[in-house]
Chains A and B, each alone.
Chain A
Amino acid sequence: MRGVTTFETMGTVVSLRGATPEAASEVRAVFAGYDHRYSLYDPSSVLSRVADGSVRLADTPSEVRDVYALALDWRERTGGAFTPHRPDGVIDLSGVVKALAIRDAGAVLDAASGGGDWMVNAGGDVLVRGHHRSDDPWSVGVVDPTHRDTVVGVVRLEAPRRAVATSGSAERGEHIWRRAAPTFVQATVIADDIVTADVLATAVVAGDAEDLRRLTSDAGVDVLAFGADGTVWATPGARSAVRTEDGAASAVT
């Protein structure tokens, strides 16, 4: 088992497992590239210059416009709960950029390891390949939004579910632009790909119970959502992650 590599990027910390040093530095470069292009905290990034008006969106590199189009597509699919538009009109693509970076990092790791197992965790969003050990899936703990040193459940990632993303207001404050009075303070989404997981997690926290119902109405994702009133909502797949060990109910996925 190769060791754990960590590095800082995008204002958070990325943990890598299963990567050779060369692969790790390539992954680092991937994140740096996205950060440089899309960070609104860096005044020289493309998106910052669009925000302050010195560059028109139409003149940005096609990759930037593609990411914007992707964000708009997700806005449609989540009924507006997820949106790249801040209330002040600035285009904020941070909602998809981190996930895209994780996705591209995953491609790099696949190429480098040639089918080996790996795990990428970027500030709480996780993408894996394979298993932790031969008979042990990668396990990700879900943090209790009110007690960040407590884990309320363990998600065991088995293909095709390879990605876990959590969105919430606990850590960085109100960075999610909400449509309605907050219904959910944290949402963990387990999906087949990291972009879906990340976007839907953001959408659930930004939306309300109706959004949660709509987003879970097909069988594409599992969601564990913590309501502002203290109730926890879980789809059956997510429910098995929080079951107590004595198996009080079947809830087999």
Chain B
Amino acid sequence: MNIKIDNISFRYNKHELILKDLSIAFSKGQIWGILGHNGAGKTTLARLILGLLPPCSGNISFDFEKSISYLPESNGIYEKLTCYENLVFRGEIFGLNTVASKKRADHLLEELNIVNKKWERAAFLSHGMKKRLGLGCALMNPGNLIILDEPTNGLDPESLEIVRNIISSFKGTDTIILIICHDLETVQQVCNNIVILQNGEKIYISAMDGDNKESIKDIYLKVVKGHEEYAD
């Protein structure tokens, strides 16, 4: 089960290129951290993989039938609906019937520790709770490709722990997980591969296995700084 990205480039209309000739291969069981400054092209890469945007050149191929779980940066939840309604609706449009959807929603509410907020409208939730609900909505569809855009942005320690545990539980499963993240500590804890983008280009890619003892923060700062100096 692989995703192969071959020399893709992308630009919105006649604006400058957001992704330049990018090639990466993702395999099952891996959790990838996609890092980079704001505007580096991380979210655009996610949208291309999701099939929401067509690449200007290059190709993205999947050797499996993809089923996607996606958490967008602003959580992708309906503010006027309750937590439960959000979860059930997400399940229904991703192919679960109403009974299965309700069952899974109840299970995820417990797993994310937001059972007491079940009937509360999403608009009234705290930032951390909204993030948890967004993750719950994403996981309503038990997909084989999970893309999480800033899943830990601005979370309190309790929410952070819950989110990290849930992501880690996918390690070694038949799933490809891509995490777009600025939170290097989370990436250090849960990811086993990282790719760093800058100005639409891949400037670093590596597995974070036992041999690699360097912290992601050090790698990130060294690589990004080194690339900026080289560019100057």
Q: Do they bind each other?
A: no
Name A's B-contacting residues (CB within 8 A). Answer: none
